[in-house]
Amino acid sequence: MLVEGKIALVTGAAQGIGRAIALCLAGEGADVIISDVNEEKAREVAAEVESLGRRSLSVIVDVTDDEEIGKAVTKSLDKFNRIDILVNNAGITKDAILVRMKRSQWDDVISTNLTGVFNWMKACAKPMMKEKSGRIVNISSIIGLVGNTGQANYAASKAGILGLTKSAAKELAPWHINVNAVAPGFIATQMTEKLPEEIKKKMLSNIPLCRWGEPEEVARVVLFLVSEMSSYITGQVISVDGGMVM
Ligand code: NDP
């Protein structure tokens, strides 16, 4: 049990990578707060956490709403007293080539993927500083490292997460709070399912391990980063991409 007795909060945990992270942490002994905008699916994942013998709570909050995040943190602290682990996973895509990208597509992706991470880190840093310990993992993307045609908004948001992660790692280190990022490649979830077959084929030809990643393969790296196994690692970015970026 790598995170026994820890209290974890995962955003975007109702499905895909976030769900896999929540269940992986619960399987290793953590109580998990499930945060998402999808109430029904979030409650289902919370029930799955409980079926693993752990406590859970679902908090239905949009990551762009800092007031509601404040209330969700208070609700979580009322139930669990601490938040030891924060995983910022919620994210969206709204693709278009730069010259056709609407301002609303840019704003939506930046406010969900980047400002959302800022909102949750700001809200959870104080209770973590009080405990003089904590772990934060932010889910970026390899697109934030190398860019992608049709994803200027997404790439900018995911690159922004890396700067935010490194700055927070430096600021929070004196309180023994480690802050790291994970950069997945192409992982089989609903987000990638909707891509056109042609793009999927092209992507696959660029993956040295010759297959898509599974959400659980990202979850296990997050588990490492929130466990004592990684106690001397902070401000780092770990790619989980089958060798796409090397
Ligand atoms: P999914 O779309 O499958 O799941 C994302 C979850 O986040 C959904 O439950 C979604 O709810 C929720 N969500 C969306 N917007 C908000 C919001 N404003 N506030 C709270 N919750 C929200 O995505 P994945 O599991 O594939 O991706 C998870 C993370 O991993 C994302 O940050 C993504 O960018 C990143 N990533 C994914 C890769 C992949 O190949 N899948 C590759 C690299 C990075 P709803 O569906 O109801 O909107």
- pLDDT tens profile 119-144: 999 999 999 999 999 999 999 999 99
Q: What is the dihedral of CA 93, 95, 101, 105, to 10 degrees?
A: -20
- Mean pLDDT, all residues of the chain: 98
On the question of pLDDT at 220 being above 90, the answer is yes
In angstroms, rounded to a whole number, what is the distance separating the alpha carbons of residues 2 and 208? 30
Which residues form the pocket of ligand 1, taking CB atoms under 6 Å from any ligand atom? Answer: 11-12, 14-18, 36-38, 62-64, 89-92, 112, 116, 139, 141, 184, 186-187, 189-192
Q: What is the distance in A from the centroid of ligand 1 to the CA of 178? A: 23
Q: Which domains does the chain have, with CATH numbers?
A: 7-240 (3.40.50.720)
On the question of pLDDT at 194 being above 90, the answer is no
Claim: this prediction has a pTM higher than 0.75: yes
Cβ-based neighbours of 83, under 8 Å, separated by 6 or more: 7, 8, 9, 33, 73, 76, 77, 124, 127, 128, 134
**Confidence band for 94, pLDDT divided at 50, 70 and 90:** very high
What's residue 171's pLDDT?
A: 98
Active site residue 154: yes
Neighbours of 232 (CB within 10 A): 6
- pLDDT tens profile 152-184: 999 999 999 999 999 999 999 999 999 999 999
Direct distance between the N- and C-terminal alpha carbons of the chain, in angstroms, rounded to an integer? 32
On the question of pLDDT at 52 being above 90, the answer is yes
What's residue 151's pLDDT?
A: 97
Burial zone of 30 (CB within 10 Å; 0-12 exposed, 13-18 middle, 19+ buried): buried
What's residue 167's pLDDT?
A: 99
In angstroms, rounded to a whole number, what is the distance separating the alpha carbons of residues 89 and 35? 10
